[in-house]
Amino acid sequence: MLRFLYLPVFIFLSLSVHAQLVSGPMLGPVELRTAKIWAEVKPGSSVVLQYWKKGEIKNFKSINKKTNSDDWFSPLVFDVVGLDMNTTYEYKLSVNQKAVMPPAKADGSFTTKDLWQWRKPAPDFSFLTGSCAYFNEPAVDRPGKPYGGNSSIFESMAKEKAAFMLWLGDSWYTREVDYFDRWGLWNRASQDRAFPVLQNFLKSTSHVAIWDDHDYGPNDIGMNYILKDESRKVFMNYFPNTSFGMNNEGIYSMMSYGDVDVFMMDDRWWRSADATKDSVDGKPNAAKTMWGKQQMEWLKNSLLFSRAPFKIIATGGQVLNPVSTYERLANYPVEYDELMNFLKDNNINGIVFLTGDRHHSEIIKVNREGTYPLYDVTASPLTSGTHKFSGPEKDNPYQVLGIDEKQNYTKFSFSGERNKRKMLVEFFGVKGEKLGEWSITENDLKTTRDK
C-alpha cells in the first residue's frame, strides 16, 4: 500500500525537476584535464552537476550553481577541472532538488583527450559539421511552405561516433520578431535550442561553433548591426567555446584535435555591407572587409605557428567558388588577395576551407600556380530550405562534388601513419544514408618541393 502512495509523489517530483531543465545537458570542449558541460534551466533554479570516473560512481564529485530569478533566460556552464587524461567520466545534472542524492545513473559521458604528442602516433578520429538549422514557428514564420525541414537528421547525427560537432553558422534563425530587441535574440536561441529532437545529439559529443548572419542578426547583415554586442553575449552563452575573439570583439577562436588545427573565423563582426563597392577609382577597395584587420592578423600568425598537417579554416560563407554570385570572401578582393598571397608566400601547407550558408553541399577546387590546389568544403543545410544548382553553378567547372536539394550533414575523418595522414569527407542524408565522399592526403596539400 505504501508503494502505491509513494509512486505518484515520485513521478510528480521527477516531472517537476524535468520541467526546470529547458535544454541540455550539452557537452562543450573536452581537453586533456578539463571539460565544459552546458545546460539551460529556468531562472532562479538551483543546479547540481555530479561527475565521476566511469565505474567509480561512489567517488562522485559535485559542482553547485544558482541562477538569478530576475534573468530572462538562464544558460550556464559547468567547468569540470582536474581530470585525468584519456579517461572516461560520467555525469548527472539535478535541478531544484531539496536533497540531492548520490547519483544512481548518468545523463551522459565524455572522455578526456590523450597526451599523444612525443609519445605515440596521432590518434585517428572523426568530427561532424554542418550549417543552417531552421525550426519552424508558424506564428512568426513567413506565409507559405514551411522553411524548416526534417529535424530527425539530429537523431541520425546522435548515433555517429565523433570527437566533436562544429556548427558552421545559422545554428538558429532569428526572425523579424527577434531582430531589434535584446529579449528577442535571447528567446530565439533559447527556444530553438530546446527542441526535443536536439537533446540526445547535444550530449552525444562535444559542440563548438561559429556564427553566420541568421544566428548573428538579420539576413546578410554585418558590422552595422545595432545589437551586435548583445548578439555576441547570446552566442557566448549558448555555445561554450574555449574563447571568443580578442579585445571583447568578435567570436573567432581555434581548436586542436589530434594533429588537426581548426581556425574558427567570424564573418560578421567586421563585415562591410555587401553593397559596398569592390573597387574605387579602378583599385580594390581596402575599406571593404569581411574578416577585418584584427582577425586577419590573428589568423596569419596562427597559421605560421601551426605545425598541423591539416589546417582547416572554417567560416560562415564560401571562400573560393569563382562562379558564385552569392556571398564569398572573393567579393572582398583586398582581404582575399591578402590571404592568398600570404598562403603562397609563406608556403603554408595543409590548408582546407570549411564553409556553410549555401543550402547545398559541395567541394570546390581552385588550382594555384607553383603550389598545391585549394579546396573549399561547403556543408549545408541541416534542416533549412535546400538550394538547386542553377545558372553558372549548374555545371561549375571548379566543383569536385556537389549535393543539392537534400538536407545533409558532413563527417570529416582523419587516419593513417605519420607523414601519410588521410582526410576523408563524407556527406550523409537525413536518415544517415551516404550521399557522397571525397578524400585527400596531407601530401596532396603540400608544395611540390615539400613532398
Comparing CA positions, the residue from 431, 373, 434 lying closest to residue 403 is 434
Instruction: Name residue 77's amino acid.
Output: V
Together in a domain, 35 and 96: yes
**Residue 15 in this model has a pLDDT that exceeds 70:** no
Comparing CA positions, the residue from 239, 164, 250, 258 lying closest to residue 204 is 164
- Dist. CA 162–CA 449, nearest whole Å: 34
Which of the 8 DSSP states describes residue 94?
E
- Dist. CA 15–CA 31, nearest whole Å: 34
Together in a domain, 102 and 137: no
Element (H, E) at 63: strand 61-66
* Rounded to 5°, angle at Cα 125 from 123 and 127: 145
Residue 253 is part of a domain; what is its CATH number? 3.60.21.70
**Residue 450 in this model has a pLDDT that exceeds 60:** no
pLDDT band at 449 (very low <50, low <70, confident <90, very high): low
Together in a domain, 93 and 175: no
Together in a domain, 400 and 348: yes
Together in a domain, 146 and 190: yes
pLDDT digits (tens, 9 = 90+) for 114-160: 999 999 999 999 999 999 999 999 999 999 999 999 999 999 999 99
- Dist. CA 389–CA 380, nearest whole Å: 13
Together in a domain, 144 and 248: yes
pLDDT at 3: 33
422 within 8 A of 444, measured Cβ to Cβ: no
pLDDT digits (tens, 9 = 90+) for 225-257: 999 999 999 999 999 999 999 999 999 999 999
Strands 253-257 and 206-209: unpaired
Give a yes or no: residue 443 inside a domain.
yes
pLDDT digits (tens, 9 = 90+) for 56-104: 999 999 999 999 999 999 999 999 999 999 999 999 999 999 888 999 9
- Dist. CA 283–CA 70, nearest whole Å: 53
Together in a domain, 140 and 89: no
Give a yes or no: residue 286 inside a domain.
yes
- Strand locations in 248-342, DSSP E? 253-257, 260-264, 279-280, 283-284, 310-315
Q: Containing domain of residue 346, as a range? A: 125-450
Which of the 8 DSSP states describes residue 83?
P
pLDDT digits (tens, 9 = 90+) for 282-324: 899 999 999 999 999 999 999 999 999 999 999 999 999 999 9
333-354: burial string, b at 16+ Cβ within 10 Å, e else:
bbbbebbbeebbeeebbbbbbb
Among residues 48, 81, 111, the one where a domain terminates is 111
pLDDT at 61: 97
310-330: burial string, b at 16+ Cβ within 10 Å, e else:
bbbbbbbbbbbbeebeebbbb
Together in a domain, 313 and 417: yes
Give a yes or no: residue 120 inside a domain.
no
Q: Is the peptide bond before 29 cis (omega within 30 degrees of 0)?
A: no
Write the DSSP string, 379-429: ---SSS------GGGTT-TTEEEEE-SS--EEEEEEESSTT--EEEEEEE-
Strands 164-167 and 206-209: parallel
Q: What is the mean pLDDT of the chain?
A: 94
What cell does 69 get? 530569478
Give a yes or no: residue 119 inside a domain.
no
Together in a domain, 53 and 171: no
pLDDT at 17: 46
47 within 8 A of 94, measured Cβ to Cβ: yes
pLDDT band at 4 (very low <50, low <70, confident <90, very high): very low
How many folded domains does the chain comprise?
Answer: 2
pLDDT at 47: 97
- Dist. CA 194–CA 270, nearest whole Å: 30
pLDDT at 100: 81
Together in a domain, 85 and 183: no
Together in a domain, 148 and 260: yes
Average pLDDT estimate for 331-338: 96
Among residues 111, 133, 167, the one where a domain terminates is 111
- Dist. CA 353–CA 349, nearest whole Å: 13
Together in a domain, 285 and 332: yes
pLDDT at 18: 52
pLDDT at 111: 98
pLDDT digits (tens, 9 = 90+) for 408-440: 999 999 999 999 999 999 999 999 999 999 999
Helix (H, G, I), strand (E, B) or coil at 165: strand
pLDDT band at 14 (very low <50, low <70, confident <90, very high): very low
pLDDT digits (tens, 9 = 90+) for 189-215: 999 999 999 999 999 999 999 999 999
